[in-house]
Amino acid sequence: MRTKSRTLTFHKYKKYEQHADTRTMDDICIGDTDFKLQVQQNFMKDWMKREKSWRNILLYHEIGSGKTCTSITMAEEYLRQNPSHKVKVILPARLRTNFFDELISPCGMNAYISREDFIRYHDSNTSVSRKRKLRSQFMKAIEEKYEIMSFEKFRASAAKAHNLKQWVEMFTHNSLVIIDEVHNLISMKYKLEQYTKMEETRIIPKKIVGINTVVFKYMLSHASNSCKFILMTATPVFDNIRQFKDLVSIMNPKIKIDENTTLNHAIDGLRGMVSYFPGTSPNAYPKVSYETHDIPMSKLQEELTIRILAAGDDDDEYKESFLAKQRQVSIACLEKNANITDKNINKVIANQDKYAPKVKALVNEIDTLKGKHMIYSNFIEKGLKIVEAALRKKGWISISDVKKKPELGAKHEYKVYALWDGSIKDAEKQMIKSVINHKSNLDGKYIRLVLGSPSVKEGVSFKHIQHLHMLDPVWNQSAKTQVEGRAIRFCSHIDIPKDHEFLKREVKVHIYVIKTESLSIEMTADEFIYDKVIPNKKQMVEIAENALKSVAIDHFLFRKLYKNGNNTPPEEQETYNKPSIIDIPEDVPLNMRPKGKEKTINSCPLKRRPDKITGLCPEGMEKKLNKHGKYCCYMIKNTRAKRMP
């Protein structure tokens, strides 16, 4: 029988209990270099040996805690118990190579490559042909036991099935299915009626909303009885508490959830199905501080923002397009909100005070502050590319330029950047990581800056980063955690001597907020997201995450590692982004939405609305709020037009 009780689990596996870790970064990160499984990895391996009746387990382990290695440890134990079975791994395409690399690392315990060949494979003196031969050998050995595929390949295979139920049964038969970054498959965008129709027809419709979520949900509902699932994520509630409803119904279909279901009722259905590991001592991570830069809007930005507001740029905050036009204008713009292209980008860079004051402020910070930097933006063409152009004007070059002409590197020390977006190949990613993370690049001599797009959020770690710049807001809580987690890593700053002249074992997160004194703009998009959207989302996500922690099988084993669990020094608790222990409200409905910007209908007749640009009413009219709270123009006598307050 599987042990569901946290107390019984604690007594059964008490040898894995962790206490407050008072060791320093040097104590934790320097010393025995031989690979050893971490405590949570040994616990999960032992748990798999002794607990036989489990079906699904959610590995909710914090960023940088070794989730991939934990899943491999569990997979190898599964294969030891079931030699004729197979492990299926489904993950984002960009993480596929990383999973193979982890299998041949010491975590794989030399199951697929000898220690000697592993060293030879990573030796820069080994020829390319020899490396290819070694890779061919270990790939063949791995593929005998593992099938590692992207979300896209999994979805495409399912879409070809003439009978989806039979296909799922065959795919999951005698298998352990590992799903990495599972939060990407939990979405509220799918339509229930389409899923119901798929259940009836056993065929995936050609046009279906949220297909990844639908196929994932169907697989867990109709999987073979011989199948087990390991779901992995550091951010199980990706954006809001309503996603928790889908998580519960997917992991435990027996739980009936409707619009009246509360969090406390739903969480009981996940007892025995969650493992939560908060990570090791915070002392192994760099200290984190935040600095907000208030940037005044230019007059052109104000004019364009007023136009956008008048046109109604009110996209739902659950969409990536939420306030997209305003957010883009806040970064850079041109007259008439024209598209910024390769042909006119020089116009923007030549007059940044007018067209891109935020970019100017950011580049000035990079010029001033020593050490390695990372910039993050949701926008590539209207964000990172503009920053890139501003940098190049100041004499910076790309690592791609150095790759083509190595002699450029010596001429541009401390002025080389790397653009990390979805277009770069795995080989180039490996090259960038190896250069930027090398000890010889401690202060950024060879690569000093990474320009990161949304594709940087998962599967990559950067060392020694001193400054992380958030060019535009990331209101999705887990995305924010993922972005910051690229620079704030376990032992990521250990190479920096404590007495270094200017480098520190710290990361400063710079937040750039466009502000305005215009009476026609109540709040800029940046202000609205940072002051309204993010605080509300953070509160609800924390409630759901703490509910998961409260039912974790290892709750009593690892709770002393939680933030405020006697493991974080008081002076660091505000700067270190560790999970906290908070009470769970009893009556939180799972269908609640965060307080934010809601779509509204302008009840003022079109002819009586104030001017879109100036906010003024025609001569002889004054502006007042109508009974619906909308500004309208009303006839008055002997009064001049007024501006919107």
- The 3-state DSSP class for residue 198 equals helix
For residues 606 and 495, give the distance between their C-alpha atoms in angstroms, rounded to a whole number: 64
pLDDT tens digit string along 587-601?
A: 566 655 544 444 445
Angle between helices 324-331 and 299-311 (to 10 degrees): 170
CA angle 619, 623, 629 (to 5 degrees): 155
- The 3-state DSSP class for residue 118 equals helix
pLDDT tier at 123 (50, 70, 90 boundaries)?
A: confident
Predicted local distance difference test score (pLDDT) of residue 190: 76
**Homologous superfamily, domain 283-524:** P-loop containing nucleotide triphosphate hydrolases (3.40.50.300)
pLDDT tens digit string along 481-508?
A: 899 999 999 899 999 999 999 999 999 9
Q: Which residues contact 561 (CB under 8 A, 6 or more apart)?
A: 18, 20, 21, 277, 278, 279, 280, 281, 567
The two three-digit tokens of residue 426, written as one number: 């795995």
For residues 359 and 295, give the distance between their C-alpha atoms in angstroms, rounded to a whole number: 10
- Could you tell me which residue, 321 or 184, shows the higher pLDDT? 184
pLDDT tier at 581 (50, 70, 90 boundaries)?
A: very low
Predicted local distance difference test score (pLDDT) of residue 614: 60
pLDDT tens digit string along 454-487?
A: 999 877 899 999 999 999 999 888 889 899 999 9
Tell me, what amino acid is at 122? H
**Taking a C-beta distance cutoff of 8 angstroms, is the pair 366, 449 a contact?**
yes
Give the residue-averaged pLDDT of 622-638: 74
- Could you tell me which residue, 168 or 644, shows the higher pLDDT? 168
Same fold, 6-17+40-281 and 283-524: yes
Predicted local distance difference test score (pLDDT) of residue 631: 78
pTM passes above 0.85: no
Give me the percent of the chain exceeding a pLDDT of 70.
89
For residues 224 and 228, give the distance between their C-alpha atoms in angstroms, rounded to a whole number: 9
Domain extents in the chain: 6-17+40-281, 283-524, 600-645
C-alpha separations of 559 from 17, 22, 537, 590 in Å: 9, 15, 24, 26
- 502, 503, 507, 510: CA torsion to nearest 10: 40
Q: Which residues contact 471 (CB under 8 A, 6 or more apart)?
A: 331, 358, 359, 362, 375, 376, 377, 383, 384, 387, 512
Predicted local distance difference test score (pLDDT) of residue 587: 57
**Taking a C-beta distance cutoff of 8 angstroms, is the pair 576, 563 a contact?**
yes
pLDDT tier at 568 (50, 70, 90 boundaries)?
A: very low
What CATH topology corresponds to 6-17+40-281?
Rossmann fold (3.40.50)
Predicted local distance difference test score (pLDDT) of residue 106: 93
Predicted local distance difference test score (pLDDT) of residue 281: 83
pLDDT tens digit string along 257-312?
A: 877 788 888 898 899 999 999 987 889 999 999 999 999 999 999 999 999 988 87
pLDDT value at 187 more than 80: no
Predicted local distance difference test score (pLDDT) of residue 586: 52
pLDDT tens digit string along 220-267?
A: 999 999 999 999 999 898 777 777 888 888 888 888 887 778 888 889
Give the residue-averaged pLDDT of 170-189: 91
C-alpha separations of 372 from 368, 375, 380, 407, 466 in Å: 12, 10, 21, 22, 6
pLDDT tens digit string along 90-100?
A: 999 888 988 99
